[in-house]
Amino acid sequence: MNKHLHNPTPKRCVLMWLASGLAAAAGLGLDYGFRQPVVTDNTIHSTLLAALGLFLLSRLLMLMPAAGLGTRLKRWWVDFVLIIAAIPWYLFDPSREPIILRIAAAYCLIIAAGAIAKAGIRGLIEEWSEKTIGSAGRRLLIGAVISVLVASVVLALPVCWAHAYPVTEESTYQGQFRYELSMHWLNCLFTATAALTCTGLAVLDIGYQFSRVGQLVILIMIQIGGLAVLTIGAAIGWRLRQMIGWGAQNDDYSPIGLRKLIRFVFIMTLLIEAIGAVAIYDTWDPTVDTNFAAAQQTAPLFGEVFKDEARLFASIFHAVSGFCNVGLTLPRESVFAYRDHMSLYIFLLPLMVIGSIGGPVIRELLHKLTRRRIAHQKLSKDSRITLLATIALIVIGMGLLFAIESTQQWQHRYPKSNIPGRIELPNTTQAESLPATQSPSETAPVDTHRIRDMSPGDKWLACLFHSIAARSCGMRTVRLDSESLSPASQIVLRPLMLIGGGVGGATGGLRIVVVALLIGAVFSRRRPPVARAVAIAAAMAMALTIILVLTAFTLIYREPQPMEVCIFDALSACCNVGFTSGMTPLLSVQGKVVLTLGMLLGRIVPLIVLFRCMYQPPAAPTPLPAVPAIEQTPTPATQPAEESIPMEKLTDL
């Protein structure tokens, strides 16, 4: 392992930094998290002062020992420059102390997040061993759990709530206060988990119930989760294609090449999201979307900095949500209201597809288009399989959905009242399952949100949209409940959700290359792929299956919804899609906990199993070439032996 990849920061500095970060988060939360102060100003001031003091102490401890000081100063020189600059700024005007404390607390949190991200990227680039794989999996799980817990606490603060706070602050019955607070926190925990794991399930109306601050927190969680999944997936996909020999001729699998790939994924993600936000800027319409109309009437968060903050924020939010394959939206019922806007299909669908393919494939396509020396080379097998499977799944899914929803008269199970022998199912339409606290937006009739009642052109677009969304982003333009969609159509959507997209993409599920490995190992007559890669693929499939079975079984056991509805939503949660057949807003407390765990484990556990692809076994020592033995030709018995030369003659010579 290279020495420059080691963490040069002493552990004592890290502990002090952690303590300062906790104090900073507590101080900022107490200062800005409540509409009315819950503690005195002196308490907030003391907390922020403690955060700054711990941060200064962590930097002073960084000066010792002298060994490695140059490396530490080179890495954290900005901190020392800001500390030196803040001293005269305070001395010239001591009244600036409150703003200095708040800036210092925010800076401490920001650089802490950056340091964690750098440490994670450094871990992906290092030479992996069996020991580092296990510790990386634990750090990933612990980091995800801490992230959703912190985000849920932040989202539960009154400042993140747009309307009346759902917790009765002054209640004569203490048990009611605790119950309301716990339910509110559980809903926020569900939302934070869905954002971080890139799953489009929601039990709250994000565009109506959350304030702009809360929506911004959700957007940050979506971006963090999307970048983490895309980065880790790119590194795993890069190593996997090397392991099974499906890479391109010019692939660079060295740490430098992997570092370039990760840098490309970061830049590509931010650039495509920015382009997507600009492209869908004019999409939002207050006449059909009451949440957006209310957002335009809300006081802007950043004052008069932006001309139309609500429109800009909606564009950025949905561009990030679409590319990161999340599916969370600001409109009340996903993107139902924008089904007739062509920008949804021209701009948002490509974002979803590109985000599902992943960095290694996109990078290879870009190199092939921009570099002449490799333009004539064939795409790698990994890219060919990913692209062809993506196109095939989209076309097959779209065709089957259109055929099924166009032949309802042939189906006895189709949700139509005049079909004899139809099995009656309870009404679980999403319009009726939304909480009463959601926005009183005027929704169109339910029939306009069903595929069967659309014109042929709209029906094709709806089938295309959901064939793509089932494998990537859980946005919806039609209802998917048992009263609106054929059971056969739900069967079509399930394998699409289970397969997902590329290994390097933001999708969940099994992933295309993993499915191809398993199929190849079973049916291929040629030499099977690398046994280790097949074993990793099988272990990942088994782990995801166990999580899915346990989640579905618990929902079937606990929830009053039909079994097929529980299986559908469990599959959507564990594969990080976000489709719902109408059950999610009606979940009990236990159901919310189960789906929260399903989303988290369904995202983290497969990545932990795929981490095994990063392991590089030590190269076997090259054996020294054998020295051939010199054959001794026996002297024939008839041949006289050579006469020895006397020593006297040698001296004479």
Predicted confidence (pLDDT) per residue in 600-625, tens digit: 999 999 999 999 888 776 665 656 56
Cα separation values, 133 from 244, 609, 618, Å: 19, 9, 15
* Interatomic CA distance for residues 568 and 580, integer angstroms: 7
- Out of 147-151, 598-602, 614-618, 628-632, which region has the weakest mean confidence (pLDDT)? 628-632
Task: Calculate mean pLDDT across residues 579-585.
Answer: 88
Assign 306 a pLDDT band (cuts: 50, 70, 90): confident
3-state helix, strand, coil in the chain (%, to 5): 65, 0, 35
Please classify residue 90 by burial: count the beta carbons closer than 10 Å to its beta carbon, then call 0-12 exposed, 13-18 middle and 19+ buried.
middle
100, HSE (Cβ side, Cα atoms, 13 Å): 20
Q: Give 357's pLDDT tier (boundaries 50, 70, 90).
A: very high
DSSP 128: B
Among the ranges given (36-50, 282-296, 531-545), the one the predictor scored with the smallest mean pLDDT: 36-50
**Nearest CA among 507, 505, 571 for reference residue 544:** 571
- pLDDT, tens digit, 9 for 90 and up, residues 399-415: 999 999 998 888 876 65
DSSP string, 78-126: HHHHHHHHHHHHHHH-GGGHHHHHHHHHHHHHHHHHHHHHHHHHHHHHS
Mean pLDDT of 234-242: 91
- Give the model's confidence band at 598: pLDDT under 50 very low, under 70 low, under 90 confident, else very high: very high
Please state, in angstroms and as integers, the Cα–Cα distance from residue 98 to each residue in 105, 260, 332, following that order. 11, 42, 40
Q: Which of 175-184, 217-226, 359-368 has the highest mean pLDDT?
A: 217-226
**Number of Cβ atoms within 10 Å of the Cβ of 558:** 16
Q: How far apart are the first and last CA of the chain?
A: 62
What count of Cα atoms within 13 Å lies in the side-chain half-sphere of residue 458? 15
Q: How confident is the model at residue 629 (pLDDT cuts 50, 70, 90)?
A: low
User: What does the alpha-carbon distance between residue 502 and residue 352 come to, in Å, rounded to a whole number?
Assistant: 12
Mean pLDDT of 92-112: 87
Distance between CA atoms of residues 271 and 277, nearest Å = 10
Rounded CA gap, 357 and 397, in Å?
Answer: 17
Q: Which of 5-9, 26-30, 573-577 has the lowest mean pLDDT?
A: 5-9
Check if the beta carbon of residue 120 is closer than 8 Å to that of residue 113. no
Closest by CA to 219, choosing from 195, 242, 239, 236, is 195
Give pLDDT, residue 531.
85
Greater confidence (49 vs 34) lies with: 49
Largest CA distance in the chain: 127
Give me the chain's average pLDDT, please. 84
Amino acid at 125: I
Q: What confidence score (pLDDT) does residue 16 get? A: 82
- Identify the pLDDT of residue 76: 81
d(CA 509, CA 569): 14
Tokens of 385: 């399989």
Whether the predicted pLDDT of 225 surpasses 50? yes
Q: Is the pLDDT of residue 642 over 60?
A: no
Coil vs helix vs strand at 169: coil
Percent of the chain scoring above 70 in pLDDT: 85
In which element (H, E) is residue 364 found?
helix 359-370
- How would you label 332-351 residue by residue, b for 16+ Cβ within 10 Å and e otherwise? bbbbbbbbebeebbebbbbb
406-451: per-residue pLDDT in tens? 988 888 766 554 444 333 444 433 333 344 433 333 344 555 678 9
Mean pLDDT of 243-258: 87
Q: d(Cα 643, Cα 640) in Å, to the nearest integer? A: 9
pLDDT, position 222 = 96
Looking at mean pLDDT, say which of 13-27, 443-457, 466-480 comes out highest. Answer: 466-480
Length of the chain: 653
Task: State mean pLDDT over 528-533.
Answer: 78
Helix (H) or strand (E) holding 181: helix 174-196
Q: Write out pLDDT tens, residues 380-397.
A: 999 999 999 999 999 999
Query: What are the backbone dihedrals phi and psi of residue 9, each rounded to the nearest 5 degrees, phi first?
Result: -85, 125
What's residue 170's pLDDT?
60
Over range 612-640, report the average pLDDT. 60
The percent of residues above 90 in pLDDT, for the chain, comes to 48
- Residue 459, Cβ neighbours under 10 Å: how many? 18
Taking the C-alpha atoms of residue 178 and residue 135, their distance in angstroms, rounded to an integer, is 37
- Give the residue, 430 or 50, on which the prediction is more confident: 50
Long-range (24+ apart) CB contacts under 8 A made by 71-74 are: 71/8, 72/8, 72/9
Q: 3-class SS at 310?
A: helix
Tokens of 133: 């794989």
φ/ψ of 134, rounded to 5, equals: -65, -45
What 3-state DSSP class applies to 440?
coil
Say yes or no to pLDDT of 152 above 90: yes
Q: What is the mean pLDDT of residues 365-381?
A: 83
Q: Is the pLDDT of residue 649 over 60?
A: no
Residue 594: its pLDDT value, please? 96
Classify each residue of 420-453 as buried b or exposed e, where b means 16 or more C-beta atoms within 10 Å of its C-beta: eeeeebeebbbbebbeeebbebebeebeebbbbe
Convert 59-83 to b/e letters by CB count within 10 Å (16 or more is b).
bebbeeeeeeeeebeeebeebeeee
From CA 406, how far away is CA 450, in angstroms rounded?
12
Q: How far apart are CA 20 and CA 28, in angstroms?
A: 12
What phi and psi values does residue 615 have, to the nearest 5 degrees? -70, 125
Is the pLDDT at 128 greater than 90? The verdict is: no
Locate 597 and state its tokens. Answer: 């765990």
**CA gyration radius for the chain?**
30
CA proximity to 9, closest of 46, 64, 82, 89: 64
Residue 93 confidence (pLDDT): 85
Residue 216 Cα distances to 195, 257, 310, 441, 646, angstroms:
11, 34, 12, 22, 103
Element (H, E) at 336: none
Average pLDDT over residues 268-288: 95
User: Would you kindly state where each structural domain of the chain is located, as residue ranges?
Assistant: 1-126
